[in-house]
Chains A and B, each alone.
Chain A
Amino acid sequence: MTEYNRVVIPIGPQHPSLKEPACFTVTLEGEKIVDAVIGIGYNHRGIEKACESRYYTQIIYLLERVCGICSHTHTTAFCQGVEELAGVEIPRRAAFIRVLVAEIERLHSHLLWLGVAAHEIGFDTMFMYTWRDREAVLDILAELGGNRVNYSINTIGGVRRDIDDSLKQDILKMVDALEEQVKYYRELARSETTLAARLAGVGKLSREDALKYGAVGPVIRASGVDFDIRKVDPYAVYGEIPFKVVTDTHADVFGRTVVRVLEMLESIEIIRYCLENMPDGEITAKAPRRIPAGEVISRTEAPRGEDIHYIRSNGTEIPDRVRVRAPSEANWHAMKQMLLGQYLADVPITIAAIDPCFSCTDRAIAVNSGRETELMDWPRLRQYSVDWYKKRGIDVSSVKMPERRSYF
């Protein structure tokens, strides 16, 4: 095929399917994608640099806002790292609460993803169902931390909120109800043929490619690799909690869906285990203000995969360098591989299937296209339509457009 059969379609940065800005340029031959360029960086805010001018405790709240969906994971990774540098051992109860909140967060994140994915394939009923169920999880998080999204549980040396008996009962009630729902979704994924037909074979990523491009989280697990930081490098109390790493061999969007749904069931079990086996005691240990010099890498398993934080301290109250490698950043590299050879209509669901989080990714990359684009404003657009109709013998120039009123 020659070049001129190709059509280049730019998508983004603002587009209906994703909540965040990213720009994709896909090249098509007919309906098939032959090339894809991914432009990210719209959400780059410079958080890492900002970390270098804030105190450790301030950074916790800043890093929490790297991403509003997996906020707990980022602070866990950071606090863990700082605790290691300072030689602080957190109380066991605090470690249990960290795990508990992390799993509740995973539930909310996976439900959110399930909804978005369903919406992407036009299955809006399921979107509404999952988001309704997610509300129960958010209520628990709000009860726990006082905020629905950035709940600030972690602090250096432990956690900030304790769990009392009534909250424990509420959590148990929530997971019982949710378990029913998740089982229903599992049934749906297994028996609903339209769903399987729409998702199977879309966004293929072979085991070799997944390893080659360094995919993480549910993406690599759906390609048959059992890689989960909770198992390979256990932190907090994950080492003693019995749970399975869910894998699947479909290696496509369907596999990723199955992995996430089954992971939710595992999370529910972990939550139950934590509530049952949580010891009494303190929830914070004393941490020094000045963190001894040194460097550390700390890893956690975010809902989207492996989250790595690197912290270098110079012995003061302010770190020398903080680097965050969020899971979505790792998954982007495999994206192109997944898109090639697909149909254009599969682009949204393929992208959604890695559960991309631009807020996470974009802290580290700055892209500037420097391109000038032309914009047709309303008066010009109107003039264009008036001319168009005039050529066809209709005069619409007497119809007035609403004018800009001054609001300020």
Chain B
Amino acid sequence: MSLIKKAIDWGTRKSPWIIHFNAGSCNGCDIEIVDALTPRFDLERLGILQRGTPRHADILVCTGAVSLQTKDRLKQIYDQMPEPKFVIATGTCACSGGVFDGCYCVLGGIDRVIPVDVYIPGCAVRPEAIISAVVKLLGALEAQQKGGGKDAERRSDYSTVGREIQSFEG
């Protein structure tokens, strides 16, 4: 493993920078994300910083059922992020459309537009759930990096996260 790759891996693991995008949510989950960054929950202790531009970010934290209006923007923002990048769908409506499912201007979950790595259910999600999701993501990332790029293992890691959610929602 080259030194640069090692440094990049270490950086992504130890200090992932996030960018937040609201794709058509009710605001509830957005506020909870900010909450997770403020003193009580203090996600920053995991090295997480919120950034203003997608060019600097590793993790895209998305809320809301994708509305037709934000669809292209979401895709654009995702495309602008450097590799390796991850997407966290925050809230029931980001996972599946939730309460807005069936509205004429709503496409559905975030995964209709971009690939999602972690789903967090809840309407609104609790900051604890956000922290847990980030920890899971970083854990899976570390396992994958240590395993020397065994993508298959990592894939199963994510699908576990996915399955848990399915069972949660019944």
Q: Which residues of A are interface residues toward B (Cβ below 8 A)?
A: 13-16, 19-21, 41-47, 49-50, 53, 61-62, 65-69, 71, 112, 115, 127-128, 131-132, 135, 138, 147-150, 357-359, 366-368, 373, 375, 377-378, 399-408
Contacts and interface: CB of A to CB of B under 8 A. Distances in A.
Contacts of B40: 131-132, 135
Contacts of B84: 402, 404-405
B54 A14 contact: yes
Nearest to B25: A359
A61 B99 contact: yes
Q: Dominant SS at the B interface?
A: mixed
Grouping DSSP codes into helix (H, G, I), strand (E, B) and loop, the A interface class, with mixed when no group exceeds half, is loop
Given A13-B73, A367-B69, A45 B27 contact: no
B123 to A, nearest CB: 6
Contact of A50 (B23, B64, B100): B100
Closest 6 CB pairs of A and B: A68-B28, A16-B52, A149-B124, A131-B38, A46-B103, A149-B28
Contacts, number: 161
B20 interface: yes
Given A13-B73, A41-B69, A402-B5, 7 more contacts: A69-B31, A128-B39, A132-B38, A138-B35, A375-B79, A408-B115, A408-B158
Contacts of B155: 407-408
Nearest to B103: A46
Interface string B4-19: 1100100000000001
B137 to A, nearest CB: 11
A45 B103 contact: yes
A359 B91 CA distance: 15
8 contacts: A43-B22, A43-B25, A50-B102, A68-B25, A71-B28, A115-B38, A132-B38, A402-B84
Contacts of A45: 24, 65, 67, 100, 103, 105-106
B67 A42 contact: yes
B29 interface: yes
A21 B21 CA distance: 8
B1 to A, nearest CB: 12
A115 B29 CA distance: 17
